[in-house]
């Protein structure tokens, strides 16, 4: 992967001036039990038998995407990307909360931790959509990403309009093997990469408008992650 550009670093410093002394992404403690529950279900019904889709029942089928080209190693592999990604569209969120084990608890936990981190009420944050990612050595051209901003690649809503997002929360759903190197995320201009903890439920939050990129550790195993994209509701006018 190329180094971040001076323009990308300067952009991040404008958003968060202290980023040169921090990691740019900040840890959130999400409950481990629903993370593992969700991972177990995904491994059984998505990663293995239903490559590229997950049937939630009731007519709702989650599918992957194969159109994002800014992967960690280019060119992107559309076929691999389709099998290593899963998109929870705005219209799918209710079904995912109801039928996908662990998802509701993860979303509630993430929203609460997000509100605590920013010291504002939980109703200021609205979950707009989500991605599941299966990351590993074979997904360098699929579910691991080079420098990008989540505000640039925001998913369209069910009517095709771009969705506004302000905060990205990424939750690691699987446990690392004992002694394995940490999974990491690099934010442009940050002092060092952010390292996830070894346990399922390790998570981070960052401004969606920051340039950031995936970091692939030297591991043989894959890792399941959930990316939650939030908008912040403005304070009511007085």
Domain annotation covers residue 186? yes
Domain annotation covers residue 99? yes
Domain annotation covers residue 227? no
The answer to whether 95 and 60 are in contact (CB under 8 A) is yes
Domain annotation covers residue 232? no
pLDDT in tens, the chain (238 residues): 789 999 999 999 999 999 989 999 999 989 999 999 999 999 999 987 667 899 998 889 999 999 999 999 999 999 999 999 999 999 999 999 999 999 999 999 999 999 999 999 999 999 999 999 999 999 999 999 999 999 997 666 667 777 899 999 999 999 999 999 999 999 999 989 999 999 999 999 999 999 999 998 888 788 999 999 999 988 665 4
Domain annotation covers residue 13? no
For residue 174, the enclosing domain spans 23-222
Task: For residue range 1-56, list pLDDT tens digits in order.
Answer: 789 999 999 999 999 999 989 999 999 989 999 999 999 999 999 987 667 899 99
Domain annotation covers residue 237? no
CATH of the domain at 195: 2.60.120
How many folded domains does the chain comprise? Answer: 1
Domain annotation covers residue 193? yes
Domain annotation covers residue 100? yes
């Amino acid at each position: 992967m190329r180094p971040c550009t001076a323009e990308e670093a300067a952009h991040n410093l404008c958003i968060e001036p202290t980023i040169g002394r921090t990691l740019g992404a900040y840890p959130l403690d999400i409950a481990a039990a629903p993370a593992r529950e969700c991972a177990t279900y995904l491994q059984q019904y998505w990663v293995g038998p239903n490559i590229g889709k997950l049937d939630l029942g009731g007519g709702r089928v989650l599918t992957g995407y194969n159109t994002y080209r800014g992967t960690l190693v280019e060119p992107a592999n559309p076929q691999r990307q389709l099998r290593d990604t899963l998109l929870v569209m705005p219209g799918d969120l209710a079904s995912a909360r109801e039928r996908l084990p662990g998802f509701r608890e993860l979303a509630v936990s993430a929203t609460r931790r997000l509100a605590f981190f920013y010291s504002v009420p939980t109703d200021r944050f609205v979950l707009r959509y989500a991605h599941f990612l299966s990351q590993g050595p074979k997904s360098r051209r699929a579910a691991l990403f080079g420098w990008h901003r989540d505000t640039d690649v925001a998913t369209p809503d069910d009517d095709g309009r771009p969705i506004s997002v302000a905060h990205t929360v990424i939750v690691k759903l699987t446990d690392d093997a004992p002694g394995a190197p940490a999974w990491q995320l690099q934010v442009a201009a940050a002092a060092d990469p952010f390292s996830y903890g070894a346990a399922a439920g390790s998570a981070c939050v960052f401004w969606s408008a920051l340039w950031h990129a995936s970091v692939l550790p030297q591991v043989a195993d894959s890792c399941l992650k959930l990316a939650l994209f939030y908008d912040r509701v403005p304070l009511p006018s007085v």
